[in-house]
Amino acid sequence: MIPYQNPIDSTPYLIYPPLPDPLFIPGQPIKLGVLASGSGSNFEVIAQKIRDGQLNAQIQVLVYNNPKAKVKQRAEKFDIPTILVNHRDYPTRESFDQQVVDTLNQYDLDLVVFAGWMRIATQVLVTAFPHQIINLHPAILPSFPGIRGVEQALESGVKITGCTVHIVELAVDSGPILMQAAVPVLPQDTPETLHQRIQVCEHQIMVGAIALMNQKLPLT
């Protein structure tokens, strides 16, 4: 593998399997439903790659659960429909996920993408889209699952961490791994500096994993 160079500080990093080259997979575009909770930087990367003709996909809808999430404004820039499903309005995680499923089912989707979705998926959601949900996690799974993946890596003293895109199963941050990136941990790193370098890789492997799924899934 030939290492990439991080534009932030010129440190090397690796991605495996290699990103599809070209990223655009000819044929029918893969239809996406994106779930996000926060600022939506990964969402915008996906949308921009689509607009630029580099990723053969369509975002059918953005579902967000935080009324203050900035991802809504990002979606509006791309004229993508947005729907708020506020988890605080539902008594259980299962009832919340059922509303998410009902919302997504209004659209013709091939793949559901967790792009900074800060909710644990229940059986309701996983069963509704079997092997059709992917998640991005800021660590090299199976190491450091759950919250604070970057902080966990720093606290453990590892010299390499990174990020993973995987298919979602019921256990948190489990499921078949689609793509990973390896990022060096520097002696002077803070959670902020390490996450900045990891985020560069997140943006690449998320769109790379969507392209891989475009090859794997029977598209509707």
Could you give the residue numbers annotated as active site?
A: 137
CA angle 185, 137, 170 (to 5 degrees): 145
Name residue, tokens 């579902």: 63
**Rounded Cα–Cα distance for residues 45 and 65 (Å):** 20
Q: How far apart are the first and last CA of the chain?
A: 34
Cα 35 from Cα 43, distance rounded (Å) = 9
135 pairs with which residues across the strands? 114, 166
Q: What is d(CA 51, CA 38) in angstroms, rounded to the nearest whole number? A: 22
Tokens linked to 123: 């059986």
Starting at the earlier edge strand, list the strands of the sheet with 57-64: 4-5, 12-16, 177-184, 160-167, 133-137, 111-114, 30-36, 57-64, 82-84
d(CA 29, CA 27): 6
Q: Give the separation between CA 84 and CA 72, rounded to whole angstroms.
A: 9
Element (H, E) at 71: helix 71-77
